Amino acid sequence: MKFFIKTMGCQMNEYDSDLISQDLITLGWERTERIEEADLVVVLTCTVRKKPEHKAYSFIGRVSALKRKKPDMIIAVAGCVAQQKKEEIIEKFPEVDLVIGARDTLRFRDIFQRFLLKKEKIVSVCLDTAFRRPSLIKGYFKGKVTAFVSVMEGCNNFCTYCIVPYVRGREISRPLDDILEEVRFLVSEGVKEVTLLGQNVNSYKWKDIDFPELLKRVSKIEGLWRLRFTTSHPKDLSERLIRCFGEIENLCPHIHLPFQAGSNRILKLMNRRYTKEQYLELIEKLRKVRPDIAITADVMVGFPGETEKDFEETIDLIKKVEFDNLFSFKYTDRPGTVAERMEGKVDEKEKTRRLIKLQEIQKQITLKKNKQLEGKEVEVLVEGISKKGGQYTGRTPTNKVVNFTSDYNLIGNLVKVKIEEAYANSLIGKYVGKIR
């Protein structure tokens, strides 16, 4: 029996994909990359923004059509859309057999076994599900250089635009020993870089272990070359966590620190609980501890009530910080959030204008920062072959993508590359030599 997994949206879904895959393999299933061969199709969905939600519906529609030709196929819809829509998914797509909420992906194996036993449709969307030890299968991560490890789930912040607390539940932290065991296993399988995941990793707390202490414990695992984490909330970025960038040798000099808006008025409407000035102070502290740190962020335009003056304050913050990169998007109503009910919605055409302007400014900043690397040697962890083929691809400690050619097999190695050409999205270089 074969299964196919379609992953949409966030890095958390990529982690859940590995979690579910290993569960299924322990039950005797085999993964396939050809959906036509699959006896089971699992769709991992995201609803943080409208676009990935629409993509999920489109894909479920295509799989449903496939099942009408192959009636014995099992379709499971999991993740945030499943959590939000529940029974509505089966009403809209009668071919779907299982609807498994975002938190209940942690119980996928048990839920799936129950379905196989009774062959009745299941909707399981419990938000009280606790972490469990994942199925860790020897050989599953063979050939993988990087991996994700979830350390906490959920969010207690309730930003007015965000649906995460409603579909991922309240914050729960994973037991320290389970995290350490999983990272050790990944390293034993050949993984060189691990990214710790959570909707707000800064809030991690297990007994007397907080997030800075967790980072220190994980960083000491022998054979772990690089350590990253995402995502951080500015209001919870402590002095101790900032100091980690100067104290932990294998912690990469990169932080993703969403700011969302540069206007204090809009930040207050968003319930972000920090000001523009406080955010800039955090950036200053980070750069003082680690001058070479790369800073990326999320930002939105067109939040309800955003004026041209508010938007220009966002542009001002972008110019002051000079982010290495930005993930920028237009505000869209998410069902059940406070912002959905707010007045002063910005016209779609105006949102598009603002987004284009913002992205153009950031593109120039990113290009300028990348151009500064031309002629310099950088450290690259080689992850594989680039999508275009014929080149190796990897990332610098600051998370910049580097493509280069070499006659040697370098996947999984740490190498020196001299940057010859810099673009907004990647760097092109020449192989210099192996570090290890």
Mean pLDDT confidence for 174-197: 97
Do 225 and 146 reside in the same domain of the chain? yes
Report if residue 259 sits inside a domain: no
Show the tokens assigned to 3: 């299964």
Residue 260 included in any domain: no
Mark whether 41 and 84 lie in a shared domain: yes
CATH of the domain at 414: 2.40.50.140
Q: What percent of the chain has pLDDT over 90?
A: 93
Phi, psi of 329 (to 5 degrees): -160, 165
Chosen domain end from 69, 92, 124: 124
Q: 111 lies in which domain range? A: 2-124
Residue 294 shares a structural domain with residue 319? yes
Q: Tens digits of per-residue pLDDT, 329-388?
A: 999 999 999 999 999 999 999 999 999 999 999 999 999 999 999 999 999 999 999 987
Q: Which of 371, 396, 426 is the last residue of a domain?
A: 371
Q: What is the pLDDT of residue 134?
A: 87
C-alpha span between 176 and 173 (Å, rounded):
9
Cα 112 to chain centroid distance, Å, stands at: 25
102-155: pLDDT as tens digits: 999 999 999 999 999 999 999 999 988 888 888 899 999 999 999 999 999 999
Range name among 5-14, 27-36, 164-173, 252-261 with the lowest pLDDT average: 5-14
Q: Are residues 8 and 116 in the same domain?
A: yes
pLDDT at res. 47: 85
Considering the domain boundaries, does residue 102 fall inside one? yes
Spatial separation of the C-alpha atoms in residues 149 and 198, rounded to whole Å: 9
Shared domain check, 400 and 307: no
Domain count, the chain: 4
pLDDT tens digits along 304-327: 999 999 999 999 999 999 999 999
Return d(Cα 244, Cα 239) in angstroms, integer.
9
Looking up tokens 């959590």 gives 83
Among residues 325, 342, 371, which one ends one of the domains? 371
- Contact between 318 and 344 under an 8 Å Cβ cutoff? The reply is no
Name the more confident of 51 and 45: 45
Read out DSSP for 206-247? ETTEEHHHHHHHHHTSTT--EEEEE---GGG--HHHHHHHHH
- 257 lies in some domain: no
- Which CATH number do you get for residue 276? 3.30.750.200
Residue 133 pLDDT: 83
Q: Is 131 part of any domain?
A: no
- 264-317 pLDDT, tens digit per residue, is 999 999 999 999 999 999 999 999 999 999 999 999 999 999 999 999 999 999
In a shared domain, residues 204 and 100:
no
Element holding 416 (H helix, E strand): strand 414-422
DSSP assignment letter at 260? B
3-class DSSP assignment, residue 267:
helix
- Does residue 282 share a domain with residue 323? yes
Q: What is the mean pLDDT of residues 69-96?
A: 96
Which residue is associated with the tokens 């199709």? 41
Backbone angles phi, psi at 420, to 5 degrees: -105, -35
151 and 105 Cβ atoms separated by less than 8 Å: no
Are 227 and 312 contained in the same domain?
A: no
- For residue 330, tell me if it sits in a domain: yes
Tell me: cis bond preceding 231? Omega within 30 of 0 counts.
yes
- CB-side neighbour CA atoms (13 Å) of 30: 5
Asked if 297 and 351 sit in the same domain, the reply is yes
Query: What tens digit of pLDDT does each residue of 23-35 get?
Result: 999 999 999 999 9
Round to whole Å and give the CA distance between 431 and 423: 18
| Cα angle 140, 254, 20; round to 5 | 25
Host H or E run for residue 286: helix 276-289
Residue 357 tokens read as 């302007």
Identify whether residues 310 and 348 lie together within a single domain. Answer: yes
CA distance 289 to 216: 17
Q: Do 149 and 15 touch, CB atoms closer than 8 A?
A: yes
CATH number, domain containing residue 248? 3.30.750.210
Is the pLDDT confidence value at 11 over 80? yes
CATH of the domain at 103: 3.40.50.12160
**Residue given tokens 């999920």 in the structure block:** 56
Residue 329 domain-assigned (yes or no): yes
Using alpha carbons, list the distances in angstroms from residue 398 to 255, 324, 379.
9, 9, 10
Per-residue pLDDT at 9 exceeds 80? no
287, two tokens: 């750069």
189 shares a domain with 298: no
Question: Is the same domain home to 142 and 196?
Answer: yes
Over the stretch 204-245, which tens digit does the pLDDT of each residue have? 999 999 999 999 999 999 999 999 999 999 999 999 999 999
With cut-offs at 50, 70 and 90, classify the pLDDT of residue 69: very high
pLDDT at 226: 98
Question: Quick one: pLDDT at residue 10?
Answer: 79
Evaluate whether residue 258 is within a structural domain: no
